[in-house]
Amino acid sequence: MKSWDKATLSEMETIAGPGSLRWVPVRRHFDIEAFGVNAYIAADAGQDIVELHTEEVRQHEEAYIVLSGGATFTLDGDVTEAPAGTIVFIRDPAIERSAVATEPGTTVVAVGARPGVPYTPGPWEPIYAAKARGDEGDYEAAIGELQRGLEIHPDHPAILYRLAGWEALAGQRDAALVHLERAVAQRDSLREQAAGDEVFDSIRNDFRFPAAP
């Protein structure tokens, strides 16, 4: 197997993230195992280029590289402008970070990992990928993405919950109920969320459906 590879961002798949975010799954494209690296593209100024989040759970250090266009970063309330060529490094995982594009076609590459710990892809990757497949009507592909996610993150409540949702939409009633019950067993707040989530309408009347408190 060749020990190196290359590709342009335009050759890679783009996937819808939360809000107006567009995700280019660089790590998945190359199957990188040592660190996380992804790109985000905003077609228009004002669109999200980094979603609002912290890295407290995974304890990652992150660097954001503005390849083109420009972005306005907000870091724990501090606002800083980042034109093309800027690198924003965030050492403290607890810092709340987000960014919006200031120019059309802004592209930001994010690189991150936890110091001294072998890298594991985050659970958000299969969740985002599954949503893109499911929104296209390919429920089986969405289910497959989340099943692979569970191989890395067994019993992760968010993955189980999303898996149950796509299974319910695909008519896989028994599997959906099993995975939903496993999800709420890990995170009880999902019980109330499921009660109002329309993806579960087809299984809500089953006696096995987890009742809201």
Residue pLDDT, tens place only, 149-158? 999 999 999 9
Conformation bin of residue 116: beta by default, left when phi > 0, alpha when psi is -120 to 50: left
Half-sphere exposure of 140 (CA within 13 A, CB side): 0
Q: How much is the pLDDT for 64?
A: 98
Indicate if the pLDDT at residue 74 is higher than 60.
Answer: yes
Residue 143 backbone dihedrals phi, psi, to 5 degrees: -60, -40
The string of pLDDT tens digits covering residues 2-27 is: 789 999 999 999 998 777 888 999 99
Q: Which residue has the tokens 């497959």?
A: 144
Residues making up the chain, counted from first to last: 213
Indicate if the pLDDT at residue 1 is higher than 60.
Answer: no
Please report the DSSP string for 56-95 in residue order. Answer: TTTT-EEEEEEEESEEEEEETTEEEEEETT-EEEE--TTS
Per-domain residue ranges of the chain: 9-113, 124-200
| Calpha distance 153→127 (Å, rounded) | 12
The string of pLDDT tens digits covering residues 75-89 is: 999 999 999 999 999
Q: How much is the pLDDT for 211?
A: 76
Task: Indicate the SS3 state at residue 96.
Answer: coil
CATH 3.40.50.720 fits 9-113, yes or no: no
User: What value does the mean pLDDT take over residues 113-124?
Assistant: 93
**157-169 and 139-152 helices cross at what angle (nearest 10)?**
160
The string of pLDDT tens digits covering residues 14-70 is: 998 777 888 999 999 999 999 999 999 999 999 999 999 999 999 999 999 999 999
**139-152 and 124-135 helices cross at what angle (nearest 10)?**
170
Residues 91 and 61: beta-carbon distance below 8 Å: yes
Q: In the CATH hierarchy, which fold is given to the domain comprising 124-200?
A: 1.25.40
Task: Indicate the SS3 state at residue 150.
Answer: helix
